[in-house]
Amino acid sequence: MLYDTLAEELYTEICHIPLIDPHSHINPRKAASTSLDDILGYHYYTELAHSVGMDQEPLAPAAEPRERVRAILCHMAQFDNTVQYQWFIEICRAFLDFQGHRITMADCAWLYDSAEKLMRGPDWEDRVLRQSNLEKIFLTNDFDDPLTGFDTDRYVPCLRTDDLVFHLANAEVRGRLAKATKIEVGDLPSLRQAIGSLFEHFTKHGAKACAISLPPDFAPYPISEHELRSALTALSPDNVAARSLCSVGVFWMLAELCRDLSLPFDLMIGVNRRVYENGVYQGQDLFDQRTSLLQYRKLFNAFPSVPFCISVLSSGQNQELVSHAWIFPNVITSGHWWYSNVPPYIEQDLRGRLHAVPKAKQIGYYSDMYKLEFGLPKFNMYRRILAQVLADDFVRPRLYTDAQAIELARLLLRDNVKRIFNV
């Protein structure tokens, strides 16, 4: 879909670089889709269909998958302008033997059956990975994931810590923590011990990062032991102040453990949860542009040895990210996240980074996918934009040769990930 010859040539070369995807939500025990329902169950499709008027009945777990797919496809014509529609077309063409350029209701039955048959093939997962040129994929594991039953070399574990930082007041979370660590968390020492044992468990099983998503108003700082102890004692779902102090305290503890165990810390900054209360599953979260990386100054100063791989949710914050990565040795730009994972924002944010952040400090892209089939269209989208920017901003102005441009792409898509996460 590139129409510029130079960009097309660069793109073709870039596609040969084997990918290491540094952030996904893949379930390694069921990584690939088993039906079209798995594909269209991705929250982008359910939320866009809902946004143009689909009610949520077909989304109920009890609903017939084939009917759910029909309902979503039926609404798709109203968002065929979106990049998510393009991802879907590209999946159908690359993996499902679809030849056309637009999907209509007439394709529904055929496509559903075709997908089911193909995905049942014993080598489907391998075929998707091979065709997508995906070598390794980072996961997002719950803290109580046993991390067994899958190939941790292909699917790299990563400790997701949102529950620990923001939901420790919930009895259910504390129960899971106790079960996973055999430590009943009551006070500060037992909390530290429990979280420490999670880190041990994860690193022992090949985890290469700690990760968390953070609301726009989060501003970490080192709270005193005394304060954290009091907050832990007072912690309950209704005690907002205590919960807030515990969040800061646990977060800081995670950064200390990242430092001690040499793990990079992925910060995904800016998401407000449940803004649209009646939204579809995973389609309720938005952001607030009024946020600043200045909120993290204490953190960045306190942990110079921890690589912080930062994703920002709003493109407006990208210049702050660019400037922080330019100044702080431990700040790294990471991917194009969610609401900024749309071509015009990727292009703009990428250009800011390419001209101002040392190339060694940029992680180009991650898929954020739940199912393997999305790796190909999402990375392709990024690679096309990257190829065009390299053509226009580097090769044509004779700043880089073609070969140097490809080398830069290799850093962004592979070598930086290998070095920074030590894989």
Based on the shown chain and the rule CB under 8 A, indicate whether residue 230 belongs to the binding site for its own copies: no
Minimum distance from residue 182 beta carbon to its own copies (Å)? 40
Contact with its own copies (CB under 8 A): which of 326, 410, 415, 423?
A: 326
Q: How far apart are CA 320 and CA 331, in angstroms?
A: 11
- Please, what is the angle between helix 188-204 and helix 240-261, to 10°? 40
Contact with its own copies (CB under 8 A): which of 27, 316, 402, 423?
A: 316
Contact with its own copies (CB under 8 A): which of 158, 269, 299, 357?
A: 357
Based on the shown chain and the rule CB under 8 A, indicate whether residue 199 belongs to the binding site for its own copies: no
Based on the shown chain and the rule CB under 8 A, indicate whether residue 215 belongs to the binding site for its own copies: no
Contact with its own copies (CB under 8 A): which of 189, 360, 419, 422?
A: 360
Based on the shown chain and the rule CB under 8 A, indicate whether residue 342 belongs to the binding site for its own copies: yes
**Residues 41 to 80: which contact its own copies by CB under 8 A?**
47-48, 50-53, 78-80
**For tokens 């609301």, what's the residue?**
215
Give me the phi and psi of 39, to 5 degrees please.
-70, -55
**Helix, strand, coil percent values for the chain (each to nearest 5):** 55, 10, 35
Pairing of strands 265-269, 271-272: unpaired
Pairing of strands 362-363, 331-334: parallel
Minimum distance from residue 289 beta carbon to its own copies (Å)? 6
150 versus 400: smaller Cβ distance to its own copies: 400
Per the structure block, which two tokens stand in for 44?
């982008």
201 versus 378: smaller Cβ distance to its own copies: 378
Per the structure block, which two tokens stand in for 16?
């040969």
In this structure, how many other beta carbons lie within 10 angstroms of the beta carbon of residue 6? 17
Q: Which amino acid is at 69?
A: V
Minimum distance from residue 83 beta carbon to its own copies (Å)? 5
176 versus 259: smaller Cβ distance to its own copies: 259
The tally of CA atoms less than 13 A away on the side-chain side of residue 305 is 8
**Residues 390 to 419: which contact its own copies by CB under 8 A?**
393-394, 396-400, 408
- Please, what is the angle between helix 375-389 and helix 402-410, to 10°? 140
Which uninterrupted H or E stretch holds 172?
Answer: helix 171-181
Based on the shown chain and the rule CB under 8 A, indicate whether residue 222 belongs to the binding site for its own copies: no
Minimum distance from residue 226 beta carbon to its own copies (Å)? 25
15 versus 194: smaller Cβ distance to its own copies: 15
Residues in the chain: 423
84 versus 247: smaller Cβ distance to its own copies: 84
Minimum distance from residue 369 beta carbon to its own copies (Å)? 18
Binding segment for its own copies (CB under 8 A), chosen from 30-38, 204-212, 220-228, 334-342, is 334-342
For residue 168, how far is the Cα from the chain centroid?
A: 23
**Site pattern 272..311 for its own copies (x: CB under 8 A):** x--xxxxx---xx-xxxxxxxxx--x--xx--x-------
Minimum distance from residue 33 beta carbon to its own copies (Å)? 23
Which uninterrupted H or E stretch holds 210?
Answer: strand 210-214
Based on the shown chain and the rule CB under 8 A, indicate whether residue 344 belongs to the binding site for its own copies: yes
Based on the shown chain and the rule CB under 8 A, indicate whether residue 100 belongs to the binding site for its own copies: no
Based on the shown chain and the rule CB under 8 A, indicate whether residue 82 belongs to the binding site for its own copies: yes
- Residue 327 contacts by C-beta under 8 Å, 6 or more apart in sequence? none
Give me the phi and psi of 55, to 5 degrees please.
-75, 175
Beta pairing partners, 155? 137
Based on the shown chain and the rule CB under 8 A, indicate whether residue 354 belongs to the binding site for its own copies: yes
Q: How far apart are CA 289 and CA 270, in angstroms?
A: 8
Contact with its own copies (CB under 8 A): which of 8, 144, 227, 320?
A: 320
